[in-house]
Amino acid sequence: MKYFAKIVDNLVTNILVADKIPAIDTNLYVETFRDGTKFNFATIGGSYDAIRDAFIHEKPFPSWTLNETTCLWESPIAYPEDGSDLQPYKWNENTTSWDLL
């Protein structure tokens, strides 16, 4: 099974699933992979950076910045590592901090 992202003005507008490479306009569709190839799996609303050959998800919060190496968005403050997976946190954009749920 292969996945192809439809790109319009550098934005992912659709994802096509096919068993083999279909006869499609290669200027509109770019193959996307679930294994991390091309950085991230394409998501509708995300973007495609042709220079990096990378899919980038939508920016989750205004304060977050793009990690140029991983093409992932990062919060200005690292996620708390309190030694417990049972302590879930949620990003608070108003305070630009992680709040314990």
Contact yes or no for 89/79 (Cβ under 8 A): yes
pTM of the model: 0.82
Tens-digit pLDDT profile for residues 23-73: 766 678 889 999 978 899 999 999 999 999 999 999 999 999 999 999 999
Q: Please tell me the distance from the alpha carbon of residue 57 to that of residue 24, in angstroms, as a whole number.
A: 24
pLDDT at 8: 93
Q: Which residue has the higher pLDDT, 68 or 18?
A: 68
Say which residues have a Cβ less than 8 Å from residue 14's Cβ, sequence separation at least 6: 5, 6, 44
